[in-house]
């Protein structure tokens, strides 16, 4: 199994462990497998039995083996077993699935240490990084950006790990108090929190600017944990397979997934699972008022918004107007034309966006299964109220966007069961939950004292050069 960049017309192959530590491709593109591995019915049957008999970690190891051929299989089994354990995850199932009613299910991805779906990939990434760095005798300085949950998940996965530092950019004042407390309360010497004067897209632009400086990246060993890192998506493919098995009795049945998304990472993993042959009917893109992705799937126009037009909403982890993972799907949509992909994302996006032909819009829907929708603040609150009243289940605001969009998809004709992938536990968004229901969400015991912890945070302007200086000075001051 080799990997290629979405912008490399020569299709220069790279090994998994090389792209694991590198993140963004040198040409600015994103890595994908040369070809997606294919799942036949026998493999699906074996994996279904494996999940039932040995659990999520065993399934994860088998999925990893089809993507990774430069780490021994027995080591992958150990890595997966360390990543997905109880009680680090709050359920022995790791990803339980529960039925709401009327064909709707919840895939519970928030059982991990930071109560967000990002833990599903980050816990594995932490194990992979430490394993490969130890094997090479190297260190890594991770640079990332977060709109809410990626940062805390990454920091909890990497804290205290040998050979690793984490530099995480956050949009100043744009995260909930709980999200800020989770990140800024960490005292580990290898964790560095940076509040940037801007929105998430500004943070992401700084990460890309630093990562695109090949000399700086090589000298200071800069790596990535944002979903531009292929290993994140690889890990997320596992829970699509797991959820599918839990909702179906055999491989003849199809299932749809409704996925709240701003950066297109979570649902891109679903696209990959579908391309591998998992019997997925529809991939339902759920957005909030920042509806760049919904606009694309409806009209073919991809129009990233500037920071001034990116709205602060009650589902803040999706307050994103430039979806960095979207390039991977468009590469496939364009029949893997790297030159055209490079033109669209390397040039036209910087000029304001692009429009694809109507036949490609149809292809996205008919061949790749994508439909989309958006939800407003009022609809979000009403969905939270309605689902709690009818089913006794409390949604976080992002998952409410997913449920609302799933319900609209049902009204538009989707008849297969729909698994709504949970974004986070409601406790992370108490103010919105109180607005919706009139009561605060329960605080899990493991988070009881989190808001009282002291804060450790550095404020910086929206400037890549100053972020670079901060990284250099921090590296010089700390050993890992």
Q: What is the pLDDT of residue 5?
A: 97
Question: What pLDDT band is residue 149 in, cutting at 50, 70 and 90?
Answer: confident
Would you give the end-to-end CA distance of the chain in angstroms? 32
**Residues in CB range of 77: below 8 A, 6 or more apart:** 58, 61
Q: How confident is the model at residue 89 (pLDDT cuts 50, 70, 90)?
A: very high
pLDDT at 24: 79
pTM over 0.75: yes
pLDDT at 227 over 80: no
Average pLDDT estimate for 453-468: 92
12-24 per-position pLDDT tens digit: 999 999 899 877 7
Write the CB contacts of 33 (distance below 8 Å, at least 6 apart in sequence): 1, 2, 3, 4, 67
Kindly state whether residue 313 falls inside one of the protein's structural domains. Answer: yes
Instruction: Specify if 396 maps to a domain.
Output: yes
Extract the runs of DSSP E, i.e. beta strands, from 199-269: 222-223, 255-260
User: For the chain, what is the radius of gyration of the CA atoms?
Assistant: 21
| Nearest alpha-carbon partner for 290 in 363, 407, 366, 199 | 199
- Residue of 2, 118, 208, 404 with catalytic role: 118
pLDDT number for residue 480: 83
Residue 121 inside a domain? The answer is no
In a domain, residue 135? The reply is no
How confident is the model at residue 452, as a pLDDT? Answer: 80
Q: Is position 389 annotated as part of the catalytic site?
A: no
In Å, how far are 176, 216, 287, 434, 476 from 479, measured between CA atoms?
32, 19, 41, 44, 8
Q: What CA–CA distances, in Å, run from 96 to 40, 93, 108, 287, 475? A: 25, 6, 5, 24, 40
Q: Is 291 in contact with 308 (CB distance < 8 Å)?
A: no
Q: Is residue 175 part of a domain?
A: no
What confidence category does residue 370 fall into, taking pLDDT thresholds of 50, 70 and 90?
very high
Please indicate, yes or no, if residue 3 is contained in any of the structural domains: no
Residue 212 included in any domain: no
Strands (E), 230-359: 255-260, 280-287, 301-302, 354-355
Total domains present in the chain? 1
In a domain, 14, yes or no: no
State the CATH number of the domain containing residue 348: 3.40.50.1100
Query: Do 193 and 456 touch, CB atoms closer than 8 A?
Result: yes
Residue 179's pLDDT is what? 83
Average predicted confidence (pLDDT) for the chain: 94
The domain containing residue 285 runs over which residues?
97-114+230-437
Tokens at 451, concatenated: 């808001």
In this predicted structure, the answer to whether residue 224 has a pLDDT above a threshold of 90 is no
Q: Which residues contact 86 (CB under 8 A, 6 or more apart)?
A: 92, 94
């Amino acid at each position: 199994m080799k990997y290629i960049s979405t912008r490399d017309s020569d299709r220069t192959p790279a090994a998994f462990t090389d792209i694991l530590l590198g993140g963004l491709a040198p040409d600015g593109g994103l890595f994908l497998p040369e070809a997606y591995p294919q799942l036949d019915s026998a493999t699906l049957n074996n994996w279904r039995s494996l999940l039932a008999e040995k659990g999520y970690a065993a399934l994860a190891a088998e999925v990893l083996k089809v993507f990774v051929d430069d780490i021994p299989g027995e080591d992958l089994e150990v890595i997966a077993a360390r990543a997905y354990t109880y009680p680090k995850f709050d359920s022995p199932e790791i990803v339980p699935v529960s039925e709401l009613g009327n064909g709707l299910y919840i895939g519970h991805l928030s059982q991990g240490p930071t109560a967000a779906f990002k833990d599903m990939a980050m816990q594995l990434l932490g194990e992979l990084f430490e394993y490969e760095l130890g094997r090479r005798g190297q260190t890594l300085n991770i640079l990332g950006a977060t709109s809410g949950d990626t940062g805390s998940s990454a920091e909890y996965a990497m804290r205290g790990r040998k050979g690793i530092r984490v530099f995480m950019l956050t949009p100043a004042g744009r995260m909930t108090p709980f999200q800020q407390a989770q990140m800024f309360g960490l005292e580990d010497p290898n964790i560095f929190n940076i509040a940037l004067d801007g929105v998430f897209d500004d943070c992401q632009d700084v990460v890309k600017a630093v990562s695109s400086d090949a000399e700086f990246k090589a000298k200071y060993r800069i790596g990535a944990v944002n979903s531009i890192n292929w290993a994140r998506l690889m890990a997320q493919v596992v829970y699509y397979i797991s959820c599918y098995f839990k909702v179906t009795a055999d491989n003849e049945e199809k299932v749809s997934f409704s996925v709240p998304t701003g950066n297109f990472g979570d649902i891109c993993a679903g696209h990959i699972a579908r391309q591998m042959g998992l019997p997925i009917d529809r991939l339902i893109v759920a957005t909030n008022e920042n509806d760049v992705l919904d606009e694309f799937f409806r009209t073919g126009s991809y129009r990233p918004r500037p920071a001034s037009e990116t709205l602060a909403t009650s589902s803040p982890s999706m307050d994103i107007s430039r979806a960095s993972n979207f390039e991977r799907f468009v590469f496939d949509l364009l029949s893997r034309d790297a030159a055209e992909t490079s033109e669209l994302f390397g040039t036209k996006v910087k000029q304001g966006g692009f429009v694809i032909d109507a036949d490609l819009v149809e292809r996205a829907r008919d061949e790749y299964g994508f439909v989309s929708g958006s939800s407003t603040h009022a609809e979000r609150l009403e969905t939270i109220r309605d689902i709690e009243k009818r089913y006794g289940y409390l949604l976080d605001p992002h998952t409410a966007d997913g449920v609302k969009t799933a319900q609209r998809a049902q009204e538009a004709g989707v008849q297969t069961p729909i698994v709504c992938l949970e974004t986070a536990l409601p406790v992370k968004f108490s103010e919105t939950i109180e607005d919706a229901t009139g009561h605060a969400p329960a605080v899990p015991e493991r988070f009881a004292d989190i808001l009282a912890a002291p804060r450790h945070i550095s404020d910086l302007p929206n400037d890549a050069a100053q972020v670079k200086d901060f990284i250099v000075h921090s590296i010089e001051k700390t050993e890992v």
